[in-house]
């Protein structure tokens, strides 16, 4: 693969990762609002409704069972922490992705810092949970970090 084809591939991959991060931010923000406003019984009912089709097909589904376990053991402090965490993380992602879409170089730098901090938190959580799902998210974040860095360097050299 020649350099220009490789650069175009990385550039497209960059935009895909930015759109995924932006969509993730929107979903986290909505989730944070729902967790904040819903009472415990509503959350349990929502998770049971959402996981029932998957568990009817595969009763051993790890994600569906994990979600049910989490919501059934949710304390009010955990609920509040989860909602604040989702809201903060979601809003920051959305704002940074909008800044990147608008070509603001400071948004690239801020996204690099934010994602690096988040990867550090994921490493900390992984050291306690050894979750393969978390490891997958961490790998995606590392890829996104790399792509933002490459695109930032490219844009800094030629802002047009």
pLDDT of residue 3: 66
Residue span of the structural domain in which 18 resides: 3-157
pLDDT tens-digit profile of 22-60?
Answer: 999 999 999 999 889 988 888 889 889 989 998 898 888
At 75 the pLDDT is 82
Look-up of token digits 């904040």: 36
The residues near 114 (Cβ < 8 Å, ≥ 6 apart) are 92, 93, 96
Question: What is the mean predicted confidence (pLDDT) over 134-140?
Answer: 90
Q: What is the pLDDT of residues 79-136, one digit of tens each?
A: 888 899 899 999 999 999 999 999 999 999 999 999 999 999 999 988 988 888 889 9
Write the CB contacts of 115 (distance below 8 Å, at least 6 apart in sequence). 141, 144, 145, 148
Over 70: is that where the pLDDT of 4 sits? Answer: yes
Q: Is 108 exposed, middle or buried (0-12, 13-18, 19+ CB in 10 A)?
A: buried
Q: Does the structure show a pLDDT above 60 at 62?
A: yes
Instruction: Check if the beta carbon of residue 155 is closer than 8 Å to that of residue 103.
Output: yes
Closest CA to 89 of 68, 51, 119: 119
Residue of 140, 154, 33 lying closest to 87 (CA atoms)? 33
Tell me the pLDDT band of 63, cut-offs 50, 70 and 90. confident
Give the number of domains in the chain. 1
User: 5-37: string of b/e by CB count within 10 Å (b at 16+)?
Assistant: eeeeeeeebbeebbeebbebbeebbebbeebee
């Amino acid at each position: 693969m020649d350099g220009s084809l490789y650069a175009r591939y990385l550039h497209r991959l960059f935009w895909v990762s930015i759109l995924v991060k932006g969509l993730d931010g929107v979903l986290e923000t909505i989730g944070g609002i729902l967790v904040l406003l819903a009472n415990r019984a509503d959350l349990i009912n929502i998770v049971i409704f959402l996981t029932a089709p998957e568990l009817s097909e595969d009763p051993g589904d790890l994600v569906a069972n994990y979600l049910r376990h989490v919501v059934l053991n949710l304390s009010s402090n955990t609920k509040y922490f989860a909602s604040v965490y989702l809201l903060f993380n979601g809003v920051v992602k959305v704002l940074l992705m909008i800044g990147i879409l608008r070509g603001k170089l400071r948004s690239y730098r801020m996204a690099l810092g934010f994602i690096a901090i988040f990867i550090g938190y994921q490493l900390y959580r992984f050291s306690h949970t050894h979750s393969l799902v978390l490891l997958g998210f961490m790998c995606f974040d590392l890829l996104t970090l790399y792509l933002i860095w490459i695109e930032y360097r490219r844009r800094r050299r030629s802002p047009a």
